[in-house]
């Protein structure tokens, strides 16, 4: 590395978030490229058999095989680690791969997890079905009930897992309080920071041990690629890297390059998503066909003050329940609303510049039981909207089409 490059990287250590999101992690090659290079290679050539042995043994730093060492992926890892304030990051093939990798690396048969009821439906399935097959037990508790978390911890509890804000109800966990509960009992607090991203929330600074991301969502921002990330201390992240090296749910170099481009505009997009979502939520709250709006940016939200304290914005995801003719609170009322929209995309993904709309009970949370959905507060008449960056007046007109169909 040249003296100029060393100086540049040193300057970034004290830089602010927007600069880090654009600059961190990039070491220019001898070609002097300005944009990050894509290293689309499966393997690397060594100078000698001795060097190959040293690289494989880990006694010499350097690339070995793109399943776990790739220069483009490494830039993404260093950048997201810098944004979250973590010592290290590991990139994965998807957000669910990030969650699974944490569990496979840090849990064993006989261990216990406490998880929020208010998580993505597939996260619930991973804990309750697949990890259970290997002897890992999970207790699900209410996200906002700190005493329930403390009561659920056992002698063999290793991880407390939360998603905040929650999907889709925008419930807010007190990260600092839960981290204190976890650490008093010798547990790790793992936070899914997908909805806020480090542009709006820094869980590690609030006491969390590990942050997971679905890079597919806001880190990309345009719905182009699948990916995930795990961020935290080197001690735990080396274990996660070891699992990825063996099992292989790793990020492709091309996807890493796309996510790097997304990170460059992360704060701008998150601020814009938050502005649009707040205005739309305030408008929906005034509509007679809307029973209730779930968005932490609203003063009517029961945890608005907590959200304002630990987040610098409220994000782009909200949910609301609709009331059809003759007090119809059924799935059919929600479906009529969704089908009447013309601008919104009916898709379960979120985080795009394009607004998406979906019925959680039959899509994102359709794989969990009705009893589990009820416990999580997900009703048949609920709709989730991930507010994009279209003109807010056009989005209101589209929501009005849905309301008219009720």
pLDDT in tens, 232-253: 999 999 999 999 999 999 999 9
* Torsion sign (Cα): 272, 265, 8, 46: positive
| Least confident window among 5-9, 38-42, 58-62, 300-304 | 5-9
Give pLDDT tens digits for 194-212. 999 999 999 999 999 999 9
What would you measure as the largest C-alpha separation in the chain, in angstroms?
Answer: 78
DSSP string, 204-250: GGGT-SEEEEETTTTTT-SS----EEEEE-HHHHHHHHHHHHHH--B
Distance CA 168, CA 236 (A): 29
Q: Kindly list the domain boundaries of the chain, sorted by start residue.
A: 3-263, 267-404
- Does the pLDDT at position 73 exceed 70? yes
Phi-psi region of 251 (alpha: psi -120 to 50; beta: other; left: phi over 0): beta
Instruction: Please report the pLDDT score of residue 261 as a whole number.
Output: 97
What is the C-alpha to C-alpha distance for residues 84 and 265, in angstroms, rounded to an integer?
Answer: 16
Which residues, including other chains, have CB under 8 Å from residue 365's CB and lie 6 or more apart? 120, 121, 373, 376, 378
| β-bridge pairing 137-141 and 290-294 | unpaired
Q: What's the CATH fold of domain 3-263?
A: 3.40.640
Residue 99 pLDDT: 98
Q: Say which residue, 326 or 221, is predicted with more confidence.
A: 221
Domain 267-404: assigned CATH number: 3.90.1150.10
Contact between 166 and 192 under an 8 Å Cβ cutoff? The reply is no
In the predicted model, what is the mean pLDDT of residues 97-103? 98
Q: What is the dihedral of CA 211, 215, 216, 222, to 10 degrees?
A: 130
At residue 81, the pLDDT reads 98
Average pLDDT over all residues of the chain: 95
Answer whether 0.75 is exceeded by the pTM: yes
C-alpha atoms less than 13 angstroms from C-alpha of 380 in its C-beta half-sphere? 11
Q: pLDDT band at 1, cuts 50/70/90?
A: low
Query: Could you give the CA distance from residue 241 to residue 361 in angstroms, rounded to a whole number?
Result: 35
- 290 contacts: CB under 8 Å, gap ≥ 6: 284, 320, 321, 322, 323, 403
Percent of the chain with pLDDT over 90: 86
């Amino acid at each position: 590395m040249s003296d100029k490059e060393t100086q540049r990287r040193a300057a970034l250590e004290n830089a602010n978030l927007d600069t880090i999101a654009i600059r961190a992690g990039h070491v220019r090659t001898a070609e002097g490229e300005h944009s990050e290079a894509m290293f689309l290679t499966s393997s690397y050539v060594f100078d000698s058999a001795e060097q190959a042995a040293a690289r494989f043994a880990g006694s010499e730093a350097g690339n070995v095989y793109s399943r776990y060492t790739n220069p483009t992926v490494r830039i993404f890892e260093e950048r997201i680690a810098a944004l979250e304030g973590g010592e290290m990051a590991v990139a994965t093939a998807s957000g669910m791969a990030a969650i699974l990798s944490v569990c496979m690396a840090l849990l064993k048969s006989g261990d216990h997890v406490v998880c929020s009821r208010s998580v993505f439906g597939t996260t619930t399935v991973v804990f309750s079905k697949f990890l259970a097959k290997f002897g890992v037990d999970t207790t699900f508790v209410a996200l906002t009930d700190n005493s329930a978390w403390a009561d659920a911890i056992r002698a063999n509890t290793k991880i407390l897992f939360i998603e905040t804000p929650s999907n889709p109800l925008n419930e807010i966990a007190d990260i600092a309080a839960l981290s204190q509960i976890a650490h008093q009992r010798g547990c790790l607090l793992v936070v899914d920071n997908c909805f806020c991203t480090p542009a709006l929330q820094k869980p590690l600074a609030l006491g969390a041990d590990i942050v997971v991301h679905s890079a597919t969502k806001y880190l990309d921002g345009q719905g182009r690629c699948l990916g995930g990330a795990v961020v935290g201390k080197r001690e735990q992240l080396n274990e996660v890297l070891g699992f990825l090296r063996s099992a292989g749910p790793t990020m492709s170099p091309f996807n890493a390059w796309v996510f790097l481009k997304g990170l460059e505009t992360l704060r701008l997009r998150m601020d814009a998503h938050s502005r649009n979502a707040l205005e739309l939520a305030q408008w929906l709250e005034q509509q007679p066909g809307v029973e209730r709006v779930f968005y932490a940016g609203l003063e009517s939200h029961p945890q608005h003050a907590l959200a304002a304290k630990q987040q610098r914005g409220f994000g782009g995801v909200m949910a609301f329940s609709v009331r059809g003719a003759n007090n119809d609170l059924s799935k059919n009322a929600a479906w009529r609303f969704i089908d009447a929209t013309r601008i919104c995309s009916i898709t379960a993904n979120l985080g795009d510049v394009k607004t998406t709309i979906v019925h959680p009970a039959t899509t994102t949370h359709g794989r969990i039981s009705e009893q589990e959905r009820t416990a999580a507060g997900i009703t048949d008449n609920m709709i989730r909207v991930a507010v994009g960056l279209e003109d807010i007046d056009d989005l209101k007109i589209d929501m009005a089409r849905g309301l008219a169909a009720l």
